[in-house]
Amino acid sequence: MLLACCLEGTMRSDHPYFSSSAERGGRLADDVRVLPALAEDGICLAARDVSMAGVLGSLAMLLEPSGCGASVDLDAMPRPPGVALTTWVTAFPMYGFLLCAAPEAVAECRARFAARDIACEVVATVDAGGELRVRREGDERLLLDLAREPVTGLRVGGRPGGWENPES
């Protein structure tokens, strides 16, 4: 799992929002075009924007439907200078995306973002365990057991590729 994000910008003081509009301006449209190109070229298997749930909440939403889990390396997470890690993992960045890629596609994925001066780092390893774990300075902790603590309530089931709400 990779995190691609623009580190040029400003964190608002009144809301956990990181804006890159003043710094990137007209370049943002071309920055966004990297995403469909990665999908069309088969480099990324799945992706999700980092929304108001922040990096960790958005990752939980991406993982939950599949029943997968992940171990997140907080030390590897790219973040803007001067922004505390605790602030960054809960922030809504104007340009931030989680991308799932096979190990052999990671270098190409990172290169596409580097060509646009966008940070892109491997931040997690996906597994079949259904738990979202975080690791920092060698200490790993369970953040969320997605099987017991649903985020969206959506999961794949019933029929191949079908979505169902477990409460319906």
Query: What are 80-134's pLDDT values in tens digits?
Result: 999 999 999 999 999 999 999 999 999 999 999 999 999 999 999 999 999 999 9
**Number of residues that make up the chain:** 168
Rounded distance between C-alpha atoms, residue 116 and residue 121, angstroms: 14
What are the structure tokens assigned to 21, written together? Answer: 């509009």
Query: For residues 20 and 165, which has the higher predicted lDDT (pLDDT)?
Result: 20
Residues 6+ apart with CB under 8 A from 164: 154, 155, 156, 157, 158
Q: Residue 159 — pLDDT band, cuts 50, 70, 90? A: very low
Q: Is the pLDDT of residue 79 over 90?
A: yes
Q: What is the pLDDT of residue 137?
A: 95
Q: Residue 163 — pLDDT band, cuts 50, 70, 90? A: very low
Q: What is the pLDDT of residue 101?
A: 97
Q: Residue 160 — pLDDT band, cuts 50, 70, 90? A: very low
What is the arithmetic mean of pLDDT over 45-53?
A: 95
Domain limits for position 15: 2-164
Query: For residues 166 and 39, which has the higher predicted lDDT (pLDDT)?
Result: 39
What is the arithmetic mean of pLDDT over 52-56?
A: 96
Residue 15, helix vs strand vs coil: coil
Count of structural domains within the chain:
1
Q: What is the pLDDT of residue 156?
A: 61
Q: Can you give the pTM of this predicted structure?
A: 0.89
- Burial (0-12, 13-18, 19+ Cβ within 10 Å), 129: middle
DSSP designation for 157: -
Report the chain's C-alpha Rg in angstroms: 16
Task: For residue 36, give the CATH number of its domain.
Answer: 3.90.650.10
Q: According to DSSP H, which parts of 25-167 are helical?
A: 27-32, 34-40, 54-63, 85-88, 106-114
